[in-house]
Structure formats: C-alpha cells, structure tokens
Chains A and B, each alone.
Chain A
Amino acid sequence: MTLRDGWEMVIGLEVHTELKTSTKMFCGCANEFGSEPNTNVCPVCLGLPGSLPVLNVRAVDLAMAIGFALHSTIGFSTFHRKNYFYPDMPKDFQISQYDLPINSGGYLDLPDGSRVTIERAHLEEDTGKSTHLGGSGRIHGADRSLVDYNRSGVPLVEIVSGPDIRSSAQARGYASELRGILIATGASDGRMEEGSMRIDANVSVRRPGDPLGTRCEIKNLNSLRSLHRAIDYEAARQVELVEGGAKVRQETRHWDEHLGETSTMRTKEEAEDYRYFREPDLVDLVPDTAWQERIRAGLGAMPAERRATLLARLTDPTPSQLDALEVVVDLGFDDLVLAAIDAGVEAPLALARAANELAAAIDDIANLTQDAFIATLTMEQGGELSATQAKTVLLELLAHAGDPRAIAAAKGFEQLSSDSLGETVAALITQYPDEWARFRDGDEKLAQFFIGQVMKLTKGQANGKAVIAELQSRR
C-alpha cells in the first residue's frame, strides 16, 4: 500500500527476541517453550523475597553475536531496573539495560539495497505470560487472570532501529532480514508464532522534507503480516487525522488482528514513569577483548553473504528460483543445498526440494542427514525415482530418518524404473498405435501424451525422464 500523494511514513522498529539459551537469564531454570505452566520456576524468577539475580553468561554471548552481526559497538554496559506494576512481572520491575547497553549503534543492509541504522541492541529479561478469562481477553474487564511464570526471566535482546524505514514493505523486509540474522547467529529460533520474536512499531507521517511528525507506538506485533497491516492502517489513520485538521496524539496503540485496526492503549500523559536506576544486585558487564574475539570468531556467515554464495551456483535464475533461494537461506538449508550441488545434483532441483519438501517439515529436519538428502536427489536426477517418489522418500526420511534406497525399495519404487516401465510402455504402444506413429514421425508433443498415460497407470510413480528415455529407445 502507498500513502496518499505527498505523504511519507517514518517507521522505527523495536524487535524483542528471546535468546535460545538453555537456562534463563538470571537463574538456572530451563528456558523452554510449551512446558506445563509454572514448572520452570524457582525463587529467583518468581521474585521471591531475598532472591538475587546472577547473569547467564551464555545470554551475553548471544547478545554480543547479535551485536557483531549488526556492526554494533560492543562495550562496557550496566543493568537498570525498569519499575512498574504488572501481575506477570514477579518483582514488579524488569531488569533491563538503559543508558549503557551492551550493543550501541550499527546497521542492517536489506536485500532491496537499503540500509537501516541500529540505535542499540540491549539485554533484558522477559515477563511471565498472563491469560485473561472472560470479557475481551484483555486484562480490563476480565473475570479472572492466570499467570504462567515459565517465561519470566527468559533472556531477551531488544533491537532498536533508527527512524529510517519509509514503508510497510521495507519494515517487513527489515524484520525478515533481522530474523534471518538472529537465526544465523544462533541467538534465536525466530519463531514469531511462539512469541520468541515480537515487534513494536513506532509510526509517524510527514510531508517529505518536513520535521518528524508525532509518533504512535503499536505494541506486540507477532507476525510479519500483522506488522505490515498494522503500519499501513496506522499511517493511513494518521494522514486522515492530519488532513482533517486534527493532530496526532502521541500514544501507545494496540493492534487488533481480527478487526484490522489499531486502538488506544494509553496516551503519553498516562505513560508510566519507569524510575530507572542502576540494578544494585548486579555488577557491571564488561566483556573483555578475548571474550569479544571468541564470539566474533565463532560467527558464521550472515544471510546476505549466504544468499550471494548460493546465487553464484545458479545460472540465469528464474524468479521462483530466487524466491526459493531466500526461503532456503532463511531456513538455514543453504549448507545442505550447496553440499547437494557439490555432489552433482542440479542446483534448481536441490533448491526446489529444500524450499518445498524440507521447508514443510522443518520441525523434523534433524532426522534428515546430508547424505540421505543427496542420495535421494541423485536417484531422482538419475531417473531411478520419479519426482513424486523422491518427495515421498524425503517425507519418510524427515518423519522417521533411514536409508533412502531402503525406503524406495520398501515402497516398491525401484522396480518401476526398470522392467515394469518397459512393459507399461510396450503395452501403451500397442494400445495407441496412431499416437505412437505420430511420435515416431517426430511429433514430440506426443511424448507428453505417453507420459500422462504412464502416470495414470502407475499412479504417478513413474519418472518422466525415464519414460521419455524408454520411448526414445523404442522409436
């Protein structure tokens, strides 16, 4: 969507990402999603009287990895308390970083060629999770509220961009690229649907060249689609206000996914005074050079570089191959695809199988070995398996692991490619003499006819290339 003529959006994003540590930020409780409520808790993350926080060094590792990936300056940092009352925050303050974050400055280059500056990427702890029963599902008007503290104290990094983003599409591109970086650094699993990456969007509008307009902050956008829609809605709302002679009021707004609207949560006047002050229970965080170097050295290639590496292996890529390439890098399957290409699999085939079959079963990806992937695709390419059969073998490998040849054999796929295919083709030639004659006379279109017939008879288990080879051999 574009704004009405003569208007420009100005967007800055605050992205919260949960860090993929095995334990929480300030205690030894497991950091895992989906456990029974209130089972991963202890005196520290429940904020019991007398408990004290001890910083998880692994969280610092991951925060620094994010910093390096975003070209930030890493340095002396401190922790502060952000004070406000909320039932899912057990200490009624959040330990966060304030004037001295671990990562300051930096930038992120997007695939569209634009650059978005990074103001900071700081460490903080997550809150628990409230469920409000009855009423609107929000805390006001609820009959009862239940709190799960499993998430309380999970380490977060908040990445704050500069107000450099100029469209909802660019915002989406930024969030998507950032997500790729978070996954590539190992800092996060990037699962927005599980809340491990949540976005607040600061949106204002102005006439290009004018000073910044009054901004509104839209809280807790938890999908790229919501981000895109919410920004478009909010910017249009603001333009309408201003064109109608009204003023935009600085406030925090809530995005309603079902209504497709933002609404006021609280105005600037109602904004909390967080009374930040240094967290006296923690000491300064001063990552020394050796520590920083160890993290920097351990960083792999970031998505932009990995996309370039893979792109170099494609000749004249089609738009759909380029899409597949992005998906493959996004999901971290590029090493697998490159290995397959190195082993002789054609790049488009490797890309397609990874972007489709593997992407669809991402939760089971650990079952699939590189060797099994290569072997399956090699069989497909060599005509031993049809496309459908190869997909079936891949799905079986993803579901239960195993040896692709054994799976193909067990499903009876291999026989089809040899004797039985010849028999089927011979039978069809007898059945369709006219079509066979035209094919023999050079009408290549008829090949498709025979392939279709073979597929029908074999319920799709034949390999198209193998059918053509069989037809050619009998021409």
Chain B
Amino acid sequence: MRSALDIARDVRSGATTAENEMATSLAAIRARNDELNVFLFVDEEGALDAARRVDERVTRGEDVGALAGVPIALKDNLCQSGVPTTAGSKILKGWRPPYSATVVGRLLDAGAVPMGKTNMDEFAMGSSTETSAFGPTRNPLNVERVPGGSSGGSASAVAADMTPLSLGSDTGGSIRQPAALCGLVGVKPTYGLVSRYGLIAFASSLDQIGPFAKNVADAAALLEVIAGHDPMDSTSLPELAPSLLSHVNDGVAGKRVGLVRELFDGAAAEVVAEVERAAEALRDAGATIVELSVPEIHLGLSAYYLIAPAEASSNLARYDGVRYGLRVDADDVAAMNEATRTAGFGAEVKRRIMLGTYALSAGYYDAYYGQALKVRTQLIDAFRRAYLEADLLLGATAPTVAFAIGEKTADPMAMYLSDVFTIPTNLAGDAAISVPFGTGEADLPIGVQLLGPGRSEAGLFAAARVLELADGRS
C-alpha cells in the first residue's frame, strides 16, 4: 500500500480520488477482516460520505488538508458521533456516542477518511488484544501470533494494508508494543499534546492518543494533525501543535543518545542485539552514545499496576446500567448495578477494578496508591536527571517478538511484563516512539524504542528516521 503522504498528495492533485482510495481500503478490509478480526465495525456509509466530501472540496479547489483522502482506522475507544463504540467491552455493546472525540474532528478537518473502529483489549486493559469481548485479533504477519495490545486492531489494520494510518491509545505501551510486534512506527506523545476529549478513559493521568503508520514521515504527519491545545481537555498543553514533518530529516548529528540498561535488561537476546545495532546506527549518523543506568525504571511496573487500576476503578464506575449500554435487570438498583457489571465486564477488567478499589481503600491508600504516587515522582526525577546527560534515550520496546495467541492469557504477570519497557514513559508523562529495527524469531519484526522528555517529538521522529534508513526502509 502506498504511504499516507503519497495518497494525500495524489488526492490533492487530482491524480486519484478519496472515494477511490476509500474503495481500495474497503476491499482490503473485506479480504482479511473475517480472518484477522481487526475491525469491530466498518463504517462503509460514513467513509463514503467523508471521501465524497473530500473529493468535492478538491473539485472546488479548496485546501483539503494534510491527510486528504487518506483512509484511517480508529481504535474502538475513540468516540465518533453515531458510530458504534464499545471499547472492546460487552458492557458498551450497541452504544453509539452522540458526539465525536476532538481527534476525530481534527482528522475530518484534515481530509482523512475514518473507515471504522478497531478491536482492542477490553477498556485497553491488556497487551495482546485477547481480552476483547469480541474475540482476539490475529497478527497479520503471522496469524498464530498476537498483534500486541491493547491497540492490536489498529496495529493490524496498518500491518495488513487495510489503512495506511490508524489511531490507538497508549496508557502503558498500548501503541508502542503492538507497533513493535506488527513492524510499525507507533508513537506515545507527550501527555497533554493530544486532546483526550472523546477517548474512553482507562487511566486518565496516563492515557494518550497516538499514531500508527508504516513509516516515520506518515506517523509525524498524523501526529501533527491531531496534536495541539483543546479547550475541552483541561490537561491539554497550552502550546501550539509542534511542527514535526519538517524535522523528520534533521538527523541526529551532535545528539547524545542514552543507552539505558534498564530499558533492555531481561529482553530476548535477539531484541538486545537489535538495540545495540540501533545504537551503532545512531553513532554512525553522528550521535554520541552514552551508557546510562536509571534504576528507578524497575519500579515502574509495580507503581503502574496500582495507579492505572486505581484510576480505572473510578473511571469505569459509570458503567452501571442506568443510562446506556448493557443493563441486566434485577430487583433493585444496587442489584441491577451488580448484575450488569458482573455480566458486562470481562475477567481482566474485573481484576483491575478490584485491584484499584483495594489500592484506594481507607487504610490501604497510603501503603499502595500513595506509595505508588511517590514512586512515580521518583521516576519523573530520575528521567529528568537522565535527560541532563542525554537528549534522548534508547531501549527495547517489547521484551520479545509477537508471542503466540493464548500463550500468556493464563498468567497475568507474564502478560504485564510485556509492557515493562514502555510503562515508565507513561508514568513520566514523556514522549516515546517505537520504530521497526531488524527481525527475530520466525522472521517477526523487532521494535526499538526512542524516549525523550516532554515535547521532544520532533527529535524522536528525526532519530527514528535515521534508524528507518539504517534498517533499509525507504
């Protein structure tokens, strides 16, 4: 499939039409969706409407936007007015939001064509897209393997050439890890860079929406479109959206890259080898490699599994059967709440609601949630110190290549460890990008991760582009 930027250029010039590109995307979706379970809902009508509106604007000679006619897939936790949105949960089955997320509005303004909603771990809780109430998504590169998660559907949509772009959300690695497992570029932007308005919350202080693409430039173009202040999100950064695409080819000459031991310790040997090869590639491009240790990174996972479930236990309280979604009737309101939530939530969601409720409970708050907040502060400080010594950090994205479907579902701890290298960035509120670099077992892709301080996206894209070229990708 052609790149998003090529499609947008050709739609703007009239060399192709948005409707034509939309039809190509639809055909690719139809060809493999039954097999892969990527889309939970394909919005044929809405996509056709959006494409035709783009084509009309082109005909009228209007400025159609950076993503003119580019088909895009949306993770099913992004609200789009009138389009079924479930967050991968039975409790929201059939719910159609009456409003659209800010990012959806920005995509439409930029001429993108939303094709539908992609499968995900239920409420984004998972690392394999296997906790979805609607069945697992398969990795298009090897259908016996998981695509990663929780944004596995959005990763698979791009990996299977159904759409050149997609949006996911990343709370602890839910964009970067599936990007790595599917051979894509995936970005977790700085907290507050992209509005969360209309993103169904998992853990509010950690959630960020971000792009998937096959190449660095496409990912930069998409992030540029969705980034920027939004008055509907109080945590939205006040600054203007950064210029990203124009910096993609800035290179890394003179940059200090911190190779952080804790960001690949425990990863498979083949993954560690690729991280080291990436360091060499960056050195060859003019960067200085600094070996660093940030021991606090090891504390990230346990802090995350208190903070994220605590916030989730509150965010998911509203699914009570009173106003929308599933309702299981019972004798009184409390019994109805209980019956609805018992039937509507899957095991992983229930596990985290219980964990989070416990962590916030009177008598336990200080020992669990309170302690986790302190660890979070320590981690933020540790990253700040690291960024005094390096402009950006390098490590692995995931410990292994894509694992087999069913391999980790019985062992939550093993599953949680998939995110050990990605979680620290969410806790710090910083930016990180996963870029494909080499392959491992069964010829499956490996992703390396570049991390930077808040609002360092332009530099991260430039470094990712260096790796993309070094890995023999155009």
Contacts and interface: CB of A to CB of B under 8 A. Distances in A.
B302 interface: no
Interface stretch (B289-297, B319-327, B439-447): B319-327
Contact of B232 (A54, A55, A83, A85): A54
Contact of B231 (A54, A81, A92, A276): A54
Interface string B299-335: 0000000000011011001101011100000001110
A93 interface: yes
Interface string B80-108: 00000101000010010111010000000
B333 A139 contact: yes
Contact of B317 (A48, A93, A140, A273): A93
- Residue from the set B314, B324, B360 with the largest chain A CB neighbour count within 10 Å: B314
B233 A52 contact: yes
Interface in B221-243: 231-235
Interface string A41-71: 0010011111111110000000000000000
Contact of A277 (B95, B310, B333): B310
Contacts of B201: 49-50, 281
Given A52-B197, A139-B333, A280 B231 contact: no
A90 B318 CA distance: 6
Contact of A83 (B197, B200, B314): B314
- Residue from the set A51, A92, A273, A275 with the largest chain B CB neighbour count within 10 Å: A275
- Residue from the set B197, B200, B233 with the largest chain A CB neighbour count within 10 Å: B197
Nearest to A271: B362
Contact of A282 (B101, B234, B313, B360): B234
Given A49-B92, A140-B332, A273-B361, A90 B197 contact: no
B79 interface: yes
Nearest to B86: A49
Contact of B205 (A91, A273, A280): A280
Contacts of A280: 203-205, 235, 311
A300 interface: no
Interface residue tally on B, bucketed by range: 35 or more
Interface string B167-210: 00000000000000000000000000000111111011100000
Contacts of B85: 49
Contact of B322 (A49, A51, A52, A147): A147
Given A85-B337, A145-B333, A280-B204, A53 B97 contact: no
Contacts of B196: 50, 52
A273 B314 contact: no
Contact of A51 (B197, B317, B369): B197
Nearest to B101: A50
A137 interface: no
B79 A93 contact: no
Contacts of A282: 234-235
A277 B314 contact: yes
Nearest to B370: A277
A79 B241 CA distance: 28
Contact of B79 (A49, A53, A140, A276): A49
A362 interface: no
Contacts of B205: 280
A361 interface: no
Interface of A: 43, 46-55, 81, 83, 85, 87, 90-93, 139-140, 145, 147, 273, 275-277, 280-283
Interface of B: 77-79, 85, 87, 92, 95, 97-99, 101, 196-201, 203-205, 231-235, 310-311, 313-314, 317-318, 320, 322-324, 332-334, 337, 357, 360-362, 365, 369
14 contacts: A48-B79, A50-B101, A51-B197, A54-B233, A54-B234, A83-B314, A85-B320, A92-B317, A92-B320, A93-B317, A145-B333, A275-B361, A280-B205, A280-B235
